[in-house]
Amino acid sequence: MSEKQALYRKSLIKHLYFNGKLSCAELSVLTDKSLPHTARALSDLLEEGVIVESGLAHSTGGRRPQVYSARPDILYVVSVAMDQFITHISILDMANQLVGKAQRVELSLLTDPQALHELGRILSQFIAHSGLPREKFAGIGIGMPGFVDGRKGINYSFFNGNGGNIIDYIESETGLPVLIDNDSSLIALAEWKLGIAQNRQNAMVVNIGWGIGLGMILNGSLFRGQNGFAGEFSHIPLFTNNKICNCGKTGCLETETSLQVIAAKAIQGLQSGRTSAMKGLDTAHLEETSRIVMEAAVTGDKYAIELISDAAYHIGRGIAILVHILNPGLVVLSGRGSLAGRLWLAPVQQAINEHCIPKIAEQIELMISPLGFNAERLGAAALIMEHFDELPMHRKKTDLLLV
């Protein structure tokens, strides 16, 4: 089989991954190939057990076409969702279902100079212990905070930021293709390809986490900027509070709105005598503390609601600035912070109402992502599958299946 044919078969798998079920005609349009050419490729994949028939499409007035889907266990993706403190590693199948148990690793990107070597070791062991044949893995997708240049494989904020190629290193440790990207860009990718922003031409996805990240879907494409650094929403200079941000500047949006700040404010408030049912808050365990605050807010704790509302209003002020520049049709609140759900909506909307020109803001939809904490995990997997027909194939058995 020629390389051209192999790439086309991989392209079919990619489209079935993102769309679930498609007919031959739909795949022909998506891949810009003729119906006979597409039908032959589908027939081969069906015979080899790579895809399965999944019933008939909805009637449009004529004969209902057969639709196809990728067999869930034909390939797997290793998804790595990182933040500054915790790394979550998962294996997902072609239906984006978790395979086996996910692994949670405390890995401080801020203080551990060996973080990259530790990540390579953990990934190598995780894959080996999965019990799955190595040739069944499409690749490893990694989402991480910081200034990430996915093309060069460099994170300028973490892993020493000294020009070392993260992709080359992890590939050498695991033997699998690797792609990396900024966590907020991957959350936006997940929302656009698999979530609430599907089929949207212009949308902003706000990642509420240890910072306040942003992914932008502009004119039907994920916008990453010149070097992949677009979306550093956290560092809009919105305040004159003289609080030093992680970036070294003062007054950045995240200095009053990040989950790290909310957790710290909660602890300070309780120590100063604020009334609340919240217990077990600890600066040494910010992930658990932020979760407690959000869950308390959802269950009606007045002080917790106040903390979320204050942060949400200021996030809304930042969104209002971007609305004037980008004029999106949809704003999605996503990431780990979306655990607080609809409590974000009213104060964000209030800020938009107060600070936006009404004509620009009147058509904007503001929504909470149902993907929540899983958004980055799905985005890391989607990163691999988005480029699946471009990735090198090193593995013999997979070559037989898809090449």
Domain identity same for 314 and 271: yes
Instruction: Report CA-CA distances (Å) from 355 to 231, 270, 309, 321, 323.
Output: 20, 32, 17, 8, 10
Domain identity same for 317 and 202: yes
Q: Is 360 exposed, middle or buried (0-12, 13-18, 19+ CB in 10 A)?
A: middle
pLDDT score recorded for residue 61: 62
pLDDT score recorded for residue 161: 61
pLDDT score recorded for residue 355: 96
Q: Could you give the number of structural domains in the chain?
A: 3
Query: Under a CB-based contact definition with an 8 Å cutoff, are residues 221 and 310 in contact?
Result: no
Residue 398 forms part of a structural domain: yes
What's the CATH number where 335 sits? 3.30.420.40
pLDDT score recorded for residue 402: 45
Using the 3D structure, point to which of 50, 70, 90 is the last residue of a domain.
Answer: 70
pLDDT score recorded for residue 163: 60
Residue 296 forms part of a structural domain: yes
How far is residue 77 CA from its own chain's centroid? 14
Domain identity same for 299 and 360: yes
Domain identity same for 363 and 319: yes
What's the CATH number where 57 sits? 1.10.10.10
Residue 288 forms part of a structural domain: yes
Q: Using the 8-state DSSP alphabet, how is residue 260 labeled?
A: H
Domain identity same for 253 and 305: yes
Residue position matching structure tokens 């440790």: 173
Residue 192 forms part of a structural domain: no
Q: What is the mean pLDDT of each run of 10 residues along the chain (403 residues)?
A: 83 95 94 93 93 80 84 97 94 96 93 92 96 94 93 88 82 96 95 94 95 95 87 93 90 95 94 92 86 95 97 97 95 92 96 95 94 92 94 50 42
Tell me how far apart the alpha carbons of residues 50 and 43 are, in angstroms, rounded to a whole number: 10
Residue 119 forms part of a structural domain: yes
Range of the domain at 346: 197-370
pLDDT score recorded for residue 186: 96
Q: Using the 8-state DSSP alphabet, how is residue 89 labeled?
A: E
pTM above 0.85, yes or no: yes
Residue 96 forms part of a structural domain: yes
Tell me how far apart the alpha carbons of residues 262 and 303 are, in angstroms, rounded to a whole number: 11
- What's the alpha-carbon Rg for the chain, to the nearest Å? 22
Domain identity same for 160 and 300: no
pLDDT score recorded for residue 312: 97
Residue 79 forms part of a structural domain: yes
Residue 191 forms part of a structural domain: no
Domain identity same for 355 and 299: yes
Domain identity same for 334 and 261: yes
pLDDT score recorded for residue 254: 95
Domain identity same for 149 and 79: yes
Using the 3D structure, point to which of 39, 55, 70 is the last residue of a domain.
Answer: 70
Domain identity same for 22 and 87: no
Domain identity same for 220 and 280: yes
Tell me how far apart the alpha carbons of residues 238 and 351 are, in angstroms, rounded to a whole number: 13
Tell me how far apart the alpha carbons of residues 314 and 312 are, in angstroms, rounded to a whole number: 5
Domain identity same for 245 and 287: yes
Using the 3D structure, point to which of 20, 47, 70 is the last residue of a domain.
Answer: 70
SS3 119: helix
